[in-house]
């Protein structure tokens, strides 16, 4: 599956667009729509088209990861919510989560309830993360 425009819109909204590298809330160098990696260096500046290209490149990795980890059928909205979740937290967080365990057991309702538990950065609850998890949860449930 590929991320739909609804999923991309959630990622873009919550990641925001920054054309100059910055350190995120936990100190990771980030640029564009939440792109991280060894290519992001202090002082790096990119264009908006480059930010979109990086987003597309990153999405491919997370789409493949979600497709590999999830063993049950997903709606487009569920897939989009899981890609957004993984994009923000990493595929390792999804892989080791109760959310994925419940989902792969066929408990879609239980899995949906797990999103809002992932609202912390550096051990502290972050209102912006709760807002993102709530939006992902609503998308996963097909609400909105």
Which of 40, 5, 14, 4 minimizes the C-alpha distance to 134? 14
Report the sign of the C-alpha dihedral through residues 132, 67, 101, 105, in that order.
Answer: positive
Place of tokens 């990771």: 28
* From 7, 8, 10, 15, active-site residue: 15
In 3D space, the residue among 68, 144, 64, 79 whose CA is nearest the CA of residue 111 turns out to be 79
Contact call for residues 20 and 44 (beta carbons, < 8 A): yes
Number of residues that make up the chain: 144
**Is 15 annotated in the active site?**
yes
Instruction: Pull the structure tokens for residue 56.
Output: 């597309």
Task: List the catalytic residues.
Answer: 15
């Amino acid at each position: 599956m590929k991320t739909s425009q609804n999923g991309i819109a959630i990622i873009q909204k919550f990641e925001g667009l920054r054309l100059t590298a910055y350190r995120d809330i936990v100190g990771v160098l980030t640029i564009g729509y939440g792109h991280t990696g060894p290519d992001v260096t202090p002082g790096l500046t990119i264009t908006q088209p480059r930010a979109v290209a990086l987003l597309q490149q990153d999405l491919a990795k997370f789409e493949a990861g979600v497709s590999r980890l999830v063993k049950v059928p997903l709606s487009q909205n569920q897939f989009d919510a899981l890609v957004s979740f993984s994009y923000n937290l990493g595929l390792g967080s999804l892989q080791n989560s109760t959310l994925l365990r419940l989902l792969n057991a066929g408990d879609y309702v239980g899995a949906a309830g797990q999103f809002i538990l992932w609202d912390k950065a550096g051990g502290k609850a972050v209102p912006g993360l709760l807002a993102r998890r709530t939006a992902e949860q609503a998308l996963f449930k097909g609400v909105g």
